[in-house]
Each structure stands twice: as structure tokens, then as C-alpha cells.
Structure 1
Amino acid sequence: MLINEIDDYIEKMSKNLSFKTSNAFEVSKKFKLKRNTASHYLNLLVHSKRLLKISTRPVIFIGSEWFLNNGGNGELDGFQSLRDLHDFMKKNQKKAPFSEIIGHDASLYPILEQLRAAAMYPGKGLPTILTGETGSGKSYLAKKFYEYCEEKSLVSSDAPFISFNCAQYADNPELLTSSLFGYKKGAFTGAEEDHVGIFEQAQNGVLFLDEVQRLSAHGQEKLFTYLDDSVVYRVGEATHPRQLNVRLLFATTESLGSSFLKTFIRRIPVQIKVPSIYERTLSEKKELIWSFFMAESKIVNREFKIYPELIDELVKVRYKDNIGGMKSKIKKIVAMSIIHDNGDLLLKPEQSKKISFHKNQEELQIITPQTTLPDIISQKGSNDNALNRMISLITNSISAGGETMDFGELASNCYNAVNDFNDYLVFKHAQSDMPINYYSTEINRIIDFFRDDYNRKFVGKTC
């Protein structure tokens, strides 16, 4: 029927976010109808709750199926403007677990693609091992993997997520084995009753084995039966296999060629290296810093006023324990600020000589317990993203040079990058009231950054 074809067309336009073509005029052209006939069909679909109406000029229609699948509720009463629709969706839409991860669309994108593939593989998914330095975020990714499985209905909403650190039992391999697989009453001295192991506790859920390199060769071999046949044996039950459905994630800080049996590693098809904090982009480092300050603001239930120089300083720090080290340092900064609290928690850089004179409070970033990361990103605007793009291009130019580079040579190498940055500001952000000295200040800051972090020398004037 024609009305169903119109409904399908509006749903398709909604999925493509082509709202400007979802009106009576466009429908009349598409289906060769009179304008009032198209309006009649569209209003019938609104009355039957198959479409929603947005009272703009011209009136826009959106598909109710698309609306409900993207965070909408059952109240299909329509909206006064596209802005109202946008605000409603932003408020009510539940974020996908992986989209909440800082770097999901940049340095971590290929990693998350592999985790999606591992999760979506039929059956119990593919066993996966995460490698990376201490504090790089392996445990966090494991938890997000579980949430992704839950979102995609690969596990039930009440399915267990069990994180087990093998390092806690490194000096007692027998205890480690019995903890993982359980044991039968009388299997050894002290086994006074049957014991359910970690594997069985994780049935129909996700088991994350951290520091898995602490498993002995015998312990790794004990995993073969599950990796091959999805069964485990409790200690003392050699003839009683227990069939399980557990999704497996492993993590290690060591290389896969060091502490692991080759026969163990070849049974883990998805092997992912998690980047250190020094392999993350500049914008990701800043977002991580902001996210930790926001978390601290919630914990202490206080408002922070943060000098922008503090963020620059934290970006440059060489953190011993990666993201975990960054988090700890920010906790210490907040703790020290509380000690010297004089009403406002004013967070300054440690090197006071780098503090510029802030003539008004607007130059400080204010963090409250209610602040979200999108709030900060929107306040910073796209200029920072354009600046990060310029920094990335300049990095490539400088990294390709020798230990000493004349500033004129640098300017030549980076000319296009700076021009792109200027074009972005002029043509895409013409409404900005940015002061003219922004350019020289920021570019000089970039050069200081590379002088300190890349040990480069510059001859002559900067900007």
C-alpha cells in the first residue's frame, strides 16, 4: 500500500538523519502526489503513532521506529523544533559502552573493532588476550567488553562478570588451579566440602583473567580442555566434565613469547596490544585528565577552578604507571588543594613560574560534580581539535628532521599545516572572538612542547 511505502521512506530518511527531506513537499515529489494528499497520508501515520511530527516550517516527520530505537520513549507527541528533538535524544539516549571510551574513534578504534569481532563470533565468542603496560587500561577495556556483550544481548543483564588476578596466587600454583576450576570434597588435605571454581561462577557470563602470565605451564594446559571443548574438571573429578558457556578475556604485561606455551597462545585467536598513554593522542590525554578531575569533583563534592597551564603541565608528565599514574597524580593534586583550602579549590600548576596572569575567572575551567566530558569539549570548541590536527602534522615534520632544525625550515615544513589551521578558524569558526595573540601563544606553546618532549633545538626566533 502507498501509505506503507511513505512510512518506509520516512523511516529511511530518519535513519540517514535526512530530516530536511522528510516533509510533505518532498513526499509529494517522491510519490508524484498532490501536496494535500501527501499531507493527508503523513497525518494518518502520525495519528496511528507510526510517525512523529516536528512543528517546524515546513513540518518535518520522523519515523517512530527510528525514534524508539535511538533513546526515545513511548510518548510520541512530537516536538516544536529539531533542537528540541536533539536535546531530548541527547538526554535520553543510552550511550553504547564502547562509545564512552576516550579514544574510541581514534587510537583505540582498531582495538575496539577487534573486541566487537571477538564478542560477536557465534557461540561463546573468541578467546581474547590484551597485552600492554601496567596502567594502560586493560581491566577497564575488559569491563567495557562485558557491557558491550550485555548491550548486544550476547549475555543476559544479570550475567556475571568476574575479574580474577592470577598474580595473587603466583606462589601457590595448586591453590590457583583449585580456585579457577574448583575441587571435589576429599581431593586433597583440607578439602572438606565441594568447592565451585571461578569458571563455574562465571557460567553464561564473562571471565577476565588478569596477569595470566602467572599461570604455570601446567595451569595453562588445564585451560586447554575449556578452550578446545568448553569443559572444565574440578580437582579430584577426572571423569566428570562440566560443560560451560563462558566468554574468556586474558590480560598480561609481558610479551606473548616470554611466559606462555606456544600451544596456549595459538588457542587465543584475538591478540590485542593496548597502547600506553604515550601512544595516545594529545586530545585523548587532555580528555583523560578532565575525566579524572570530574571524577574527583564528584568524590569530594566540590567545585574546582583549574588553571589551563595545569592541564598543559599534566599532559607533559612522564607517568610511571600510564593512565593509572595520571589518575593517582590528579588525586594527589586534589588532596593537596583540600589541605590548603581557602574557600575555592583553585588548582594551579606545580611550576608557578608558568602561571600566566588571569585577569578574570572566565579564563579558568570550572568543574562541578555535575560536569560531563561533552560539556568541557563543547566549551573548548572545535578550535582545540583543529589545533591538535596542526600539532599532529607538525609532529611529523619535526620527527623527520635532524637534532637541530632552523626555524625557517620548520616554518617551511609546517606552512600547510598552519594554513589549514587558520582556514579552519576563519571559515568554520568565523563567529569566534578569539584574540589575535592566540596564534602566537599557541604556536609558541607547541614549540616548547616539542623542545621539551622531543629534545629538538630551534635556531632563531619563534613566533
Structure 2
Amino acid sequence: MGRKKQIERLVQEYSMALDPEGYGMRAGLTTEEVAKAVGALRNNASRDLNALCKEGVLLKQKGKPVRFLHRETMLMKLGTDKISALRARTIENTKEREWYVHAKSLDSVLGSKNSLKKQVEMAKAAVMYPPQGLNTILIGPTGVGKTVFAEKMYDFALETGIIDPEGEFVAFNCADYASNQQLLLSQLFGYVKGAFTGADHDKPGVIDRADGGVLLLDEVHRLPHEGQEMLFYLLDKGVYRRLGESNMNRKAKVFMIAATTEKPEDYLLQTFLRRLPVEISIPPISQRTMGERLDIVRGFFQDESRKTGLPIQISKEVLQAFLAYPCPGNIGQLKGDIQLCCAKGYLDHRRRRTKNIQILMEDLPDNMIASLVSQDRGELEKAKGIFDTTLLVEPSQEISHLLSKYEQSLAKVYGRLDQYFKNRQFSSGISDTDEDAAEKIREVFLDFFSQLNYEGYSESDLQNIFATDLLQAVELSLGLAKEKFDLTNASEILFVLGVHLSFLRHANLRDEKLYPYLESIIFSVEELEKARFIISVLNQNLPEHVEEENIKLLAMMLKYVHKEKGTEDKSSVGLVLLAQGEHVADETLDQAAKHIGVHMGVAFCASEYANEKELLLELENAVRKANQGRGVLLLVDQAEFVIFAQIMTARTGILVKAVTGMGTGMVVEAMRRLLMIHQTLDQTVKELETMSWPLNEDIVYGVSGKERVLLIEAAGGLREGRKLCRWFNTLDILRASDVKAVAVRRIDTSMDLGFSPELILGVVSSRELKLKVPIISFEDIVYGSGLSKLQRLLDGEEAGTEMVGSLLFRDEVALVTLRRFLSFADPSKVFELLKYIADTVTRAFGIQLSEGTYLRFIIHCGCMIERLFKGNELPCNEVDEIIGRNQKLYEELKRAMVTVEDNYGLEVPDNELAYILELLETDIVAG
């Protein structure tokens, strides 16, 4: 029985025994009582109790300590009315107290109860002050932890709901660009095309990224007065302008934290300082108490222990040196010195294969040794009084507890198996067969695995328990095995295997005592193959070598470690590669599969399909095929293809998110992440976007000086919406208008964004919305009718009226379609050449092509150029007949086509011209 089930049964039995007449506020079990009763750590018991409350199984009673009762049992004993009163009393004042109970980020700052108590209280007040906090300035010398303190303020703001969960923490160091004021301001505020020499496109600034979150301006005293003045409007009214703009028409909601090492009044404008009403001074390490310094030192060693996954033993002399030596670089220097010591100790550990990392006096940096020689002996004596023994830090309390439990359980396994085989060997009354012995070994191991309570741990627990490199290696090996062998119990094995490998790493030995017993177990070839495969991947990704003696133990895990029936989670994130060119997606997927060792994902070629309807239908099938239960990652090689993610989400009900970029390295990295057992679609997208093509700068044009907005609502949140906005704002019909695309979270609740209703041109969304503004679907955009609606709205007409002829619109549709169908030729260059040919021919005959003929001409000729590149011209059996009835048109077209032939070094044959003549002749004759 899992720990969570044990806890539920314990509370249920307690509630059953409770006398209804004697029920009062002190009724119920506390977390401590539950933890003790089931033999669990308090934090594990607390996590399970809270989970059971969320599931509606238990009731939580307020007070100190919090107490728990079984809901169904109490309902039966007390009745509905009393239970309702109980629930009301239980949640009384929850909303008012919840932030205080859960918002602990600032309290975790070392010194929050001593030398930094005042600073922490001021920070809390600054964040909590309505409506969106008070802007703050942090003052202190280099290395005191101003950036960390600002990050804790950000975490506190997230916990208290002052800022949205999607709001980012953005740090900007003004000193990085201090030698060039214009560059500094352009990085901070962004700029518009033409703002200065070389500004050939619009570029967003740091403030754009910080919108909705926290902006840390480090070394703010290096910010020029002009920049300080530009920030007045942002801090006062939430508006700003980019370099090159004249109007303050951009809006941003930013909680600002400034940081400086100087006296603010000597460098900052008084008018700017007044807008930073909260001033918090962070003291240097020399002004922190010796006890706090010990906590800081211990914390840094704890971090290094967690990174390496090994205990670190620090001699008392080293510890006293870290407590006593003068540290001019403050906490930053202290951290660097500790990391250097740990690096030396880790190298020695690998050479000597010791159980842990040992830090001795010879590991201290030279600068520390030199400063200690000249240091006042009084500081060393004081340090000896604080700590006069060796310090041992573990990767985490949890792993220490688990390894201790694991070692104890192994001892029991030895004892039970030793006793069994002694009795079997020397007792004449026992006639067990080899099959009986094997069954006994299986029984002992099954009991051993179950004692580890592998069902009670979440993904975040595992990240806190295991060393990072070990967890990633185990996740990758099991993910690959899951894909290769259809492994169904990878999540459960992850925990047990993680504990076993941690034990081997800490003990630094081979557990040879187990293996003779395991020789009695017969495994199938497939079971042993799975185990060998996992161990080979582990050995490729871990610094230490996992010996082959572990193969049968791992095979045992693979065979017997399971959750309760029906609870296996086989879901994962699916992968689709969407490319324009032929075989690009297939070949990239194959190359990536060779690197990773497993073939996964679906390849899709857009140019294989004759029209959008067929393309979307087949892409929908590809998404459904790729779906593994946790959404689908769409890797695309064209910026405009990101829109397909929204259409697929709407069509299939499967969350699809797109990332631009399809090099082999990108696909390999995507596969590696998706193979990790607990990986989510959101995590993967965020990690890959740091590697993807720069959608946010190079293709953003002309979004400055706009008066109206087109709201983009994307499935998947603001991040997806912003990607789509970048593409929409490249379209000529928006670039030539007074409208820009703006991402919003959810349209129903977004009409208070600061835009007047008359400034909202329309909404692009996958949902059916009942609003008083025009709605355009993403699917309509792909088919072209959406762009038609958009053009009508820009022309001041109703979206449903007949389309008035618009050269700008038809050019937009032609160019967008060429981008979809051309793999080798540059769509923009092809379009300009073909547009010139169309204009030349129509002028010669004094007519204008209909919109349909014009679009067919551009697209057909574009595809013709692509075919001729590949040497695939179309045959035609009626060339002479078609040319004969269109002789003048043929001669004009032949002359105009010289432009294409000269630009691409091609010859356009008559059979290709015949098809173009057929396409044009109706309009020419009618004209």
C-alpha cells in the first residue's frame, strides 16, 4: 500500500472512532501525528495530506497546528448541515491569510530574522502596496546580493498574485552600455526603423519583455538623465516611447526595482528618485552576524553538494577560515571561493574514489590564504567560538533519509535470503525446487521495492532529491527505453533506479552480495536487452561507470516495479516536423534519429499538397498520429507556419505549440527533451525557443506610430500569441495601415487593456466568440478569406461585404502563397519578377487581370520556376495549337519572360508558356 493510501486510511479510522457529541475544534490529526504513525518524513506527510484535501477526500481545520479529518466519514457522522458549517469555518479568512501562509520567498533570505529583518519587511510592504506595488531602489556595495534580493521580491510578488504568473523577471545592467548612451537607451526602450543609421527595422526593448513582470535596472547610476526622464512616464502613467518615436503611445505595466552601488542622490535626478519611494540598503558581509555568515557558507556548500550529488565534508579549519577572512567582494566573492574549493575537492574525489568530497586547507584559494595571514587573530578566535568541529553537508535531507532506508532494506534482503538458503541447504525437511527458490527471491525483492514508496513522489520532489546530472541521465535512459521497447513503468522505475544509483555513488562500491542470488532468476532475452540498453545510456551520460553486475537488478526492477493496476501514465509529448521543401523533414528526422538512437515523430512536407484544404487535413492526421497524450510540438522551418499550431489545436482538441527552426541540432535537442519522462510541452517550447530563429527582431516591421489594434488570442497563452503577432506585423496590409497586432490572454476578459472599443479593429482567434467586434479565425487566414476580411476592415467596410478590388490585398495573398509553396527560390524576388511580367503583358493589351487569374498566374509561374530548377518541365501535347490562337500574347509573354531567364539562368520552354497562355487567354480575349 502506498504512503498516500496509508494516510487516507489512518485519518478515516481516526474519524470513524471520533465521538460526534464531543466533536470540537481540537478534533483531527496533525501533520506530525500522521507522519509519526506512517513512518514518513513530515514534509512528505504534509504533501500527501494537502493533496488529499485538494481531491476532496480530507477536511482541513484551521488553527495551530492544522488538523485533518476524513470528509465522507464526517459527513456520515455529522450530516450535511454540520459539514457545511465545518467547511465554512475551515475556509474562514483563507483568502486574507493565504498569501501570508504560502508567500515565503522573502522569509527564505538568510538574515530575514536578524540583520535583514527590516529590509525584508520593507520589501514585503513595497510589493503588497495596492494597486501594483511601490517601485524600489536597492543600495549596497558589489556582491552583497542585490540581484538575489530583487529575485526574491519577484518570487514574493508571484506568490501573492501581485503580478501574473506569465510575468517575467528581466534584469538589465546599465553599465554594459554606459559608454554609448544611444545604444543603452535603444536596448532599454527599443527603437523604430530609421531612428538612427543602421536601424533598418523596428526592435523591441527590455521594457517590452518586462511588461506584466518585474524589471531590475542594475547599476542604475549609469543611466543617463535622458533615460531617467523617459522613465518618468512609464513609472507615472505606464506609457513610454521607443527611440525615434514622438508620441508616448506604448503601454507597459512594470514593477521596477533599481539597484546601485553609489549614493543615489549623487547620480540620479531628484525627480527620478521621487518615483522610487522605497529605499532598501543591503549591508556588506562585514556587517552581518557571524551566525548569518555561517548559514551563508553552509548554504553555498549545500548548493554544491546538490549539484554534485555527493556529501561534502569541510574541515573545521576551512570553515573557520571562511567565517573569518575579510571578503571585499562580499557574498559574491564568498560564493566563488567556495565553488573553487569544491572543484578542487571534487577532482580529488574522482582520483581517490572517496565516498564524499573533502575540503581541506590546501584547497583554499591563494587570496584567502594571504588575507588570513594578515587577519586580526580576534576574528579567527571568534570563528572558533562559533564552530569548532567538522561540517558535513548532504545533497538533501531527503536523499540521506532514502539512502539510509535503502541500506537498511538491503540488510534485510541479505538476512532473509541468507536464512532461506541456509535452511534450504541444511534442512532435510525442505524440498524446494529451483522454481520455488526463484519465487522466494522475487517475493523478497518485490517487498524491498515496495518499501521505497515510489508512488509518493512528484516531479519537483525528484528534482530536489537527486543530483541534477543523475536525474537527467536516468530520465533520458528510461525515456529512450520507453520509446524503443514500449516501457510502461518508466516513471516508477525512475525513482527506484535513482535511489539505487545514488546509493552506489555515495557508497562508492559494488553491491556484489546481491548478485549471486539474482543468478537464480531466469530473465527473458528481451528483459536483459532492456536492462543492458538502459545501463549503456547511463554510462554515456554519467561521470561514473555503472557496472554490468547491475543488469539483473535492473531487469528485476523492470519486471516488478509497477504502480497499482490502472494507474500507469504512458503519456508524453508528440513531435511533428513541418517543412516547405521536399524530403527536408524526413531527412532531418532520420539524421536526428541516428544521433539519438530512437526514431520518433512525424515528418510532414507542405509542398506536396495542391491546396490549403488538403494540406490542413493531412497535417491534422499527422498531429493525431504524433499525439501521445501531452500535446504536440510542431517544429517548422517557415515563420508563417507558426499559425498552423493554432488551427491544429482548434481542429483536434490537442494542444499544439510551434517553434521555428529545423536544423538537425534543434531536432536532436527537441528529441532529447521529449524523451525525458516528466517533460511537458511548455517546458520544451521555452527551452527550445532560446535556440530558435530570431522571430522577435529580424522580421518585425513598422509597428510604431499605430493607432488601432488587431487582438490575437492564441491557445497556449501570451507566449504563443506574441509569436503570431510578430508574423502578422510583417504582412504588408498591416504595415501599410495604422493597425498593429497585439497578443492578449483571453479576449473575453481583455477589453480593459487600455484600448478604447473604437480602436479595436478585430480579433483573430480559434474560438467562437460572441463579441461586438469582428472575429477572424486562424483557419480563414490560411485559406485567404481571413486576409480578405482583414482588408475590408482596414478599408472601413463591414467584414461580410463583397470584396472591393484591392491590389494590395491580392499581392499579399500571392506573396503569402508563394512562401508556402517555394523551397529554393526566394518568394519575394519571384513575386516582384512575376508582378513585373503581369504588368508588362496587361499594359500591352490595355486590360487588367481579374483577381483569380492574377493569383493563378503568380502561383503557377512561381511553381514553374521551382520545377525548372529541378529539371522537371511539364509536357504539353497542344503547344502549336495554343500558341497559334494566341500568337500576339505568346510574343509579348516570350519577351517578358526573358527577365526570369536572365535572373535565374533558365530557359522557359514553349510547352510551359502554353500553359500560361491558356491561363491568361480568357481575360485577354474578354478585355
TM-score range, shorter chain: 0.5 to 0.7
C-alpha distance in 2 between matches for 1:56 and 1:176: 55
Task: Tell me what 1:366 maps to.
Answer: 392
Tell me which of 152, 160, 166 is aligned to 1:152: 160
C-alpha distance in 2 between matches for 1:95 and 1:289: 25
C-alpha distance in 1 between matches for 2:134 and 2:281: 16
The 5 A counterparts of 1:61-76 are: 72-75=50-53
Cα shift at 1:339: 3.8
Aligned: 1:345 with 2:357: yes
Tell me which of 119, 127, 136 is aligned to 2:127: 119
Tell me which of 179, 183, 192 is aligned to 1:184: 192
* C-alpha contact (below 8 Å) 2:135/2:277 kept by paired residues: yes
Amino acid at match of 1:206: V
* 1:54/1:275 CA distance change after superposition, 3 Å: closer
The 5 A counterparts of 1:3-22 are: none
* C-alpha contact (below 8 Å) 2:173/2:218 kept by paired residues: yes
C-alpha distance in 1 between matches for 2:139 and 2:59: 49
Amino acid at match of 2:52: G
Aligned: 1:230 with 2:256: no
The 5 A counterparts of 1:73-222 are: 73-75=51-53, 77=58, 96-222=104-230
C-alpha distance in 2 between matches for 1:131 and 1:205: 21
* C-alpha contact (below 8 Å) 1:115/1:145 kept by paired residues: yes
Cα shift at 1:196: 1.3
Structure 2 spans left out of the alignment, 5+ residues: 1-14, 34-44, 69-100, 363-368, 374-379, 381-387, 402-927
The 5 A counterparts of 1:232-311 are: 232-311=240-319
* C-alpha contact (below 8 Å) 1:118/1:270 kept by paired residues: yes
Cα shift at 1:363: 5.4
Structure number with higher relative contact order (C-alpha < 8 Å, ≥ 6 residues apart): 1
* C-alpha contact (below 8 Å) 1:161/1:205 kept by paired residues: yes
* 1:53/1:298 CA distance change after superposition, 3 Å: closer
What SS does structure 2 have at the residue aligned with 1:164? strand
Larger of the two Rg values belongs to structure:
2
RMSD: 3.7
* 1:85/1:38 CA distance change after superposition, 3 Å: closer
C-alpha distance in 2 between matches for 1:56 and 1:185: 64
Which has the larger displacement, 140-149 or 175-184? 175-184
Tell me which of 9, 21, 27 is aligned to 1:38: 21
Greater fraction of residues in helix: 2
Task: Tell me what 1:421 maps to.
Answer: none
C-alpha distance in 2 between matches for 1:201 and 1:226: 14
C-alpha distance in 1 between matches for 2:163 and 2:231: 22
Cα shift at 1:173: 0.6
* C-alpha contact (below 8 Å) 1:296/1:334 kept by paired residues: yes
C-alpha distance in 1 between matches for 2:271 and 2:166: 34
What SS does structure 1 have at the residue aligned with 2:257? strand
C-alpha distance in 2 between matches for 1:105 and 1:71: 29
Cα shift at 1:273: 0.8
* 1:56/1:126 CA distance change after superposition, 3 Å: closer
Cα shift at 1:348: 2.3
C-alpha distance in 2 between matches for 1:224 and 1:73: 46
What SS does structure 1 have at the residue aligned with 2:137? strand
C-alpha distance in 2 between matches for 1:239 and 1:102: 45
Amino acid at match of 1:235: L
* C-alpha contact (below 8 Å) 1:309/1:349 kept by paired residues: yes
Task: Tell me what 2:834 maps to.
Answer: none
* C-alpha contact (below 8 Å) 1:52/1:78 kept by paired residues: no
* 1:56/1:345 CA distance change after superposition, 3 Å: closer
Cα shift at 1:294: 0.9
Deviations 1:116-136 (A, max 9, x none): 111112133211100101000
Structure 1 spans left out of the alignment, 5+ residues: 1-22, 24-34, 58-66, 87-92, 355-361, 376-463
* C-alpha contact (below 8 Å) 2:28/2:67 kept by paired residues: no
What SS does structure 2 have at the residue aligned with 1:74? helix
C-alpha distance in 1 between matches for 2:227 and 2:59: 60
Aligned residues: 310
Task: Tell me what 1:446 maps to.
Answer: none
* 1:232/1:85 CA distance change after superposition, 3 Å: same
* C-alpha contact (below 8 Å) 1:181/1:199 kept by paired residues: yes
Deviations 1:165-196 (A, max 9, x none): 11111111101111111111122211111111
Cα shift at 1:262: 2.0
What SS does structure 2 have at the residue aligned with 1:190? coil
* C-alpha contact (below 8 Å) 2:30/2:65 kept by paired residues: no
